[in-house]
A and B are shown apart, each in its own frame.
Chain A
Amino acid sequence: MWPSDFDLDEPLTFDVVAATVGAKRTLVARLAKQGLIETVDSGTDEPLLPRRVVVHLRRMQRLRRDLGVNFAGAAVILDLVGRIEQLNRELAEMHRRLK
């Protein structure tokens, strides 16, 4: 049995996130400053990043690599994909209820 994290709320430092995704720390900090990745207040000058940012960053990196979009574009794409997924779920639920 492997221990599992759940919902990835664990707060991580910029250094840990940067090392995990293979990015420069300055880039992660810049993306956070631009509001393209989620941060959590740490009570100090530098916020922390919830672990789910690792997944988000990897998606942004893949979109950048595979589609040539910049990080701002990737963030918008992921936001829209999330909304479409949510709408699809609601639509499926409505169809189910109408049956």
Chain B
Amino acid sequence: MAKSKDYYEVLGIKRDAAQDQIKQAYRKLARKFHPDLNPGDKAAEEQFKGLQEAYDVLSEPENRKLYDQYGENWRAVKAGAGAPPPGWEGEPRSRRGTGPRTAGVDFGDFGDFDFSNFGTRGGGGFDIFEEMFGGAAGRGRGRRSGRGADVEAELELSLEEAHRGGRRTLQMEVAEACPTCGGTGLKDGKPCETCGGAGQVIRPKTIEVNIPSGVRDGSTIRLAGQGGIGSNGSEPGDLYLHIHLRPHPVFTVKGDDLEVELPIAPWEAVLGAKVEAPTIDGKVELTVPAGARSGQRLRLRGQGLNKRKGGRGDEYVRLKIVVPKDVNAEERRLYEELSRISGFKPRS
């Protein structure tokens, strides 16, 4: 929700702005903050929600007039079809949300964004769009029946979670039709006290998500029927979780393969050695061949990430020869001796 509730301020326009100026301002700011152009950016998402709310109100002359007259309470006035109730202080909640919200997890609150309700925004100017999209579910904001909204959200996982899979419990908030007024926003001709005239109430919901083994950055998990509720007995929408993997402090992911840098001592490189190398499942013994070069990659077959349809990728260990910063007297003497007797000429 935007911090400023003054819709004119949100859109950066004067109070006497013409309708096309409102649309122009909205489009300009939407280009900057649209969630599809700023994936995973919570701040942009919040900004955009505020913009949408402001545009929804100001782009419809009737609503704009009520807003100009009654400010934030315009919706209650509209719902009550009369003067605002005395002492009314309730903040109107957008009617657009029908999808889950989440709390406590890094998970987009797209409830008010309402992805499915495209095509019939008020204010005109979308006629071509309306013409092209017709008939099916999830269309109009004003529809009172139809499939629930599909909801999209982001879910951040560790590399280990993506590799092994598992369960995640997500705390969500779901907007549902108000049980008191049945979603009309009115009770006995007055704004419903339960929902403040919004027609919706938010209730907490917990869902357990099965994270499949082999999920990757950019994968999407679909939870059928976990999106917005359908109205009048219609089927609910789906929940789409877009997966983002947190950068791993040790491994670099390259498709199904993992890459790790392994420091080795100069003598280990020259003489060869058995060293411990990290893998996603723990440490394994790795044989460094004699005469190993810095940057050389050694493959640990089948030690990469679990693949979606079985099998595993490989791990590549990139050797990095490091030299000691400080050497004691004995080490120095040995290096000097080596320098004297060695025939190795790296620059020839």
> A27 in the interface, Cβ–Cβ < 8 Å?
yes
Q: Which of A5, A21, A54, A78 contacts B36 (CB 8 A)?
A: A78
Q: Offer 10 A-B interface pairs, CB within 8 angstroms, sorted by A.
A: A2-B210, A4-B210, A6-B215, A8-B220, A20-B138, A23-B136, A24-B132, A58-B116, A78-B36, A92-B247
- B92-150 contacts to A, CB under 8 A, are 115-116, 118-119, 121, 126, 129, 132-139, 147, 150
Known: A61-B119, A89-B217. A7 touches B210 (CB 8 A): no
Q: Which of B26-34, B63-71, B73-81 touches A?
A: B26-34
| Contact assessment for A1 and B37 in the assembled complex, using a CB-CB cutoff below 8 Å | no
Known: A2-B209, A4-B212, A5-B224. A22 touches B37 (CB 8 A): no
Interchain residue pairs A-B with the least CB separation, the first 9: A5-B222, A22-B138, A22-B136, A61-B118, A22-B139, A4-B221, A6-B212, A65-B118, A66-B30
Q: Which of B52, B207, B220, B247 contacts A55 (CB 8 A)?
A: B220
Chain A positions within 8 Å of B, measured between CB atoms, are: 1-8, 18-24, 27, 51-52, 54-55, 58-59, 61-68, 77-78, 81, 85, 89, 92-93, 96-97
C-alpha spacing A78/B218, complex, angstroms:
14
C-alpha spacing A67/B308, complex, angstroms:
36
- B218-269 contacts to A, CB under 8 A, are 218-226, 240, 247, 249, 252, 261
C-alpha spacing A18/B147, complex, angstroms:
13
| Contact assessment for B36 and A55 in the assembled complex, using a CB-CB cutoff below 8 Å | no
C-alpha spacing A23/B308, complex, angstroms:
32
Shortest CB–CB separation between residue A64 and chain B, in angstroms? 6
Shortest CB–CB separation between residue A33 and chain B, in angstroms? 15
> B285 in the interface, Cβ–Cβ < 8 Å?
no
Other contacts beyond A22-B138, A92-B247: 19, CB < 8 A: A1-B208, A2-B223, A3-B223, A5-B224, A6-B214, A6-B221, A7-B308, A8-B222, A20-B136, A24-B135, A54-B150, A62-B118, A66-B52, A67-B31, A81-B37, A93-B247, A93-B252, A96-B247, A96-B249
| Chain A residues whose CB sits within 8 angstroms of the CB of B34 once the complex forms | 62-63, 66-67
C-alpha spacing A22/B143, complex, angstroms:
12
C-alpha spacing A51/B126, complex, angstroms:
27
| Chain A residues whose CB sits within 8 angstroms of the CB of B152 once the complex forms | 55, 58
Main secondary structure of the interface of A (DSSP, over half): helix
C-alpha spacing A97/B135, complex, angstroms:
52
| Contact assessment for A59 and B118 in the assembled complex, using a CB-CB cutoff below 8 Å | no
Closest to B241 in A: A4
| Chain A residues whose CB sits within 8 angstroms of the CB of B224 once the complex forms | 2-3, 5
Shortest CB–CB separation between residue A61 and chain B, in angstroms? 4
Chain B positions within 8 Å of A, measured between CB atoms, are: 27, 30-31, 34, 36-37, 39, 52, 115-116, 118-119, 121, 126, 129, 132-139, 147, 150, 152, 167, 207-212, 214-215, 217-226, 240, 247, 249, 252, 261, 308
Shortest CB–CB separation between residue B166 and chain A, in angstroms? 11
Closest to A10 in B: B222
Shortest CB–CB separation between residue A77 and chain B, in angstroms? 7
C-alpha spacing A78/B226, complex, angstroms:
25
| Chain A residues whose CB sits within 8 angstroms of the CB of B252 once the complex forms | 93, 97
| Chain B residues whose CB sits within 8 angstroms of the CB of A54 once the complex forms | 150
| Chain A residues whose CB sits within 8 angstroms of the CB of B39 once the complex forms | 81, 85
Closest to A4 in B: B221
Known: A4-B221, A5-B224, A78-B36. A68 touches B27 (CB 8 A): yes
Q: Which of B30, B121, B137, B261 contacts A20 (CB 8 A)?
A: B137
| Chain B residues whose CB sits within 8 angstroms of the CB of A7 once the complex forms | 219-220, 308
Q: Which of A18, A62, A89, A96 contacts B115 (CB 8 A)?
A: A62
| Chain A residues whose CB sits within 8 angstroms of the CB of B36 once the complex forms | 59, 62-63, 77-78, 81
Closest to A2 in B: B223
| Chain A residues whose CB sits within 8 angstroms of the CB of B308 once the complex forms | 6-7
